[in-house]
Amino acid sequence: MTDEKSDRAAPMIGQFSGPPTNAPRVALRRKDSEEEPETEASSSEEPGEEEVGFKPQTPEDVEKEFLEGLKEVGLDINKARAIMDEVLAHGHYTETRELRGKPIVIRSRNYRDTLRTQQYLEAENPTYATSMDEIVLRYNAAASLVQFGEHKFEHPEDRADAPREEIEEAFDKRLNFLQTLPSIMVGKLSTAVYNMDVKLQAVFAEGAPEDF
């Protein structure tokens, strides 16, 4: 199901850099002590939109931005619509990749998975950012894993009546399996999950056309 033009590498552990379009802030120029400092009270008028350089986006601008976001992750409007329909119909999106001829199947996560990761982070209270990143990557990969080669895993949360204990037991089995893999394989899996997340963010971003 994957046909992206290129994969995005998962962020390095401990990396918190912003988007590549971010520009450095312009340093503020300090005024001479003889000059009267400018304050909000020194002007009785609020700066208008033209003064601060603010220009509201038109619906066309927002739609163009949305379509450009799809293009960046290798999707067109039809593929994006199919992904959205799958999420709305089944509650998740599934993606299949291959590694040396072995299938790797992953799926999008639900809110339960987000809460589980947050609760574990609060309980562990890791000291270093690298430790926090590793936990998030590991928990996301385990929550998304459906198949790794000949190993297939259950997701009881697909059943509305599945007890919490069964859901958590299935997650623990996936997590334990990851811990038996070579580090490089876990890294490959984490990258696949990260790329899927980026794709879903683009599909569900604000600005979809009205007939989307």
Within a domain: residue 4? no
Q: What was the pLDDT predicted at 103?
A: 93
101 and 77 in one domain? no
3-class SS string, 53-81: CCCCCCHHHHHHHHHHHHHHCCCCHHHHH
| 46 domain residue, yes or no | no
> What is residue 38's predicted lDDT score, i.e. its pLDDT?
52
| Mean pLDDT score of the chain | 81
Residues of the chain with pLDDT under 70: 1-54, 209-212
Same domain for 98 and 82? Answer: no
Residues 81 and 147 in one domain: no
- Phi, psi at 112, each rounded to 5°: -60, -40
pLDDT at 8 (0 to 100): 58
pTM exceeding the 0.75 threshold for the entire prediction: no
- pLDDT tens-digit profile of 61-116? 888 899 999 999 999 999 999 999 999 999 999 999 988 788 999 999 999 999 99
Do 132 and 85 contact (CB within 8 A), yes or no? no
Check whether residue 80 and residue 177 sit in a common domain.
Answer: no
Q: How many structural domains are present in the chain?
A: 2
Backbone angles phi, psi at 115, to 5 degrees: -65, -40
- Residue 140: C-alpha distances to residues 13, 108, 113 (Å): 14, 9, 8
Rounded Cα–Cα distance for residues 55 and 112 (Å):
39
* Distance between CA atoms of residues 190 and 13, nearest Å: 11
- 98 with 197, same domain: the answer is yes
Q: Residue 75: give the domain boundaries.
A: 57-90
